[in-house]
């Protein structure tokens, strides 16, 4: 039997190269061999953007455009909008009894985000429990595999714990998922910080125009000791090379370039021009498809509606099974 994939993104802005390297490319590659569900997590976006609902709705469309533009094919993959599947919220409610507050507070990604967002003492309860809602997303579709970047691995670990607990208490209904982490599992930002993110302002978006991409690459951080062309340069920890590792399809060419850079004789400007070239080749067709698709918003809405409907039927079945297992099928009691 084909294995099931589920993964998703918060619609807090258009998607960037970090999303592409971390998960989008894997989805496109595996969608023909796996039953693939891709979730636009608008409820999760509300956990830290409760006061910006219009923005989230707008970004649902942006993310859908990005999905289709990179090659997620709605004929084989099912794109679902989280808020269109209320059964996910129901399952989240059941799962909340299977996790402790202390465990939620230990989730390293949530801890990082809390620090970065500067909530101070004012952490929305929904934010602290979003890993539980993510566990509901994954298990409602009985996903075996979750393609994600490194930062999401703690979410899958927490999901596995919830699944084990659920299955032990109520009977083996839910599937234990595995994270599928790519070779370059965390793309740094253009400023060299460890993660590319909208909120850090260090992202290259899939929809960025060529001039913007060029500008962002030219400002990228390289090896500060590599001041003159003839100086030997450091490849490890050099952001430009990390991007080339992620996106340059010419692997032997890249190895040669690394050797030449290490030996001295390759300037940073030439190196950056090579990366710009690689990114243009990657992004030009994506950008063109995106512009094309954006002309017909009705079509996007139809894809989202159909996908959400199909996905909802699957989630509904799982939740019905969970309810029976939990002795919550009150209709059977009163019948
Ligand atoms: N937390 C993910 C992100 O920030 C989005 C997400 C929501 C997700 N539900 C998911 C990812 C289920 C994988 C599986 O991008």
Among candidate residues 94, 88, 98, the one with its CA nearest the CA of residue 165 = 98
Alpha carbon of 147 to those of 22, 36, 104, 156, 315: distances in Å?
A: 8, 10, 22, 10, 19
Give nearest CA residue, ligand 1 atom 11.
8
Contact 191, 221 (CB under 8 A): yes
CA distance 225 to 200: 25
> Is any atom of ligand 1 closer than 6 Å to the C-beta of 23?
no
- What is the average pLDDT across 56-69? 97
CA distance 331 to 202: 53
CA 214 – ligand 1 centroid, Å: 30
Question: Where does the pLDDT of residue 43 fall: very low under 50, low under 70, confident under 90, or very high at 90 and above?
Answer: very high
Reply yes or no on whether the pLDDT at 101 is more than 80.
Answer: yes
Question: Where does the pLDDT of residue 229 fall: very low under 50, low under 70, confident under 90, or very high at 90 and above?
Answer: confident
Reply yes or no on whether the pLDDT at 97 is more than 90.
Answer: yes
H or E segment and range at residue 286: helix 268-294
CA 188 – ligand 1 centroid, Å: 19
Give nearest CA residue, ligand 1 atom 5.
9
Reply yes or no on whether the pLDDT at 137 is more than 90.
Answer: yes
Q: What percent of the chain has pLDDT over 70?
A: 100
> Is any atom of ligand 1 closer than 6 Å to the C-beta of 133?
no
């Amino acid at each position: 039997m084909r294995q099931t994939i589920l993964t998703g993104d918060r619609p807090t802005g258009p998607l960037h190269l970090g999303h592409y390297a971390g998960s989008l490319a894997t989805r496109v590659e595996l969608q023909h061999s796996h039953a693939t569900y891709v979730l636009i997590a608008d409820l999760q976006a509300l956990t830290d953007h409760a006061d910006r609902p219009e923005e989230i709705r707008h970004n649902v469309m942006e993310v859908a455009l990005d999905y289709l533009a990179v090659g997620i094919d709605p004929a084989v993959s099912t794109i679902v909008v989280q808020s269109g599947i209320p059964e996910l919220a129901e399952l989240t409610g059941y799962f909340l009894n299977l996790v402790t507050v202390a465990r939620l507070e230990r989730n390293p990604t949530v801890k990082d985000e809390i620090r970065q967002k500067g909530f101070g003492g004012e952490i929305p309860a929904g934010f602290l429990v979003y890993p539980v809602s993510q566990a509901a997303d994954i298990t409602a579709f009985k996903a075996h595999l979750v393609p994600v970047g490194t930062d999401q691995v703690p979410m899958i670990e927490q999901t596995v714990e919830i699944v084990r607990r659920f299955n032990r208490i109520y009977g083996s209904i839910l599937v234990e998922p595995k994270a599928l982490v790519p070779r370059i599992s965390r793309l740094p930002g253009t400023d060299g910080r460890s993660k590319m993110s909208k909120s850090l302002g260090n992202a290259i978006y899939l929809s960025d125009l060529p001039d913007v991409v060029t500008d962002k690459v030219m400002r990228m951080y390289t090896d500060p000791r590599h001041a003159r062309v003839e100086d030997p340069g450091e490849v490890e920890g050099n952001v430009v090379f990390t991007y080339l590792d992620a996106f340059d399809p010419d692997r032997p060419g890249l190895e040669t370039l690394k050797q030449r850079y290490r030996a001295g004789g390759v300037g940073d400007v030439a190196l950056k021009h090579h990366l710009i070239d690689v990114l243009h080749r990657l992004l030009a067709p994506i950008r063109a498809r995106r512009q094309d698709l954006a002309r017909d918003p009705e079509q996007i809405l139809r894809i989202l509606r159909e996908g959400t409907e199909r996905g909802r039927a699957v989630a509904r079945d799982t939740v019905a099974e969970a309810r029976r297992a939990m002795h919550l099928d009150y209709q059977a009691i009163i019948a």
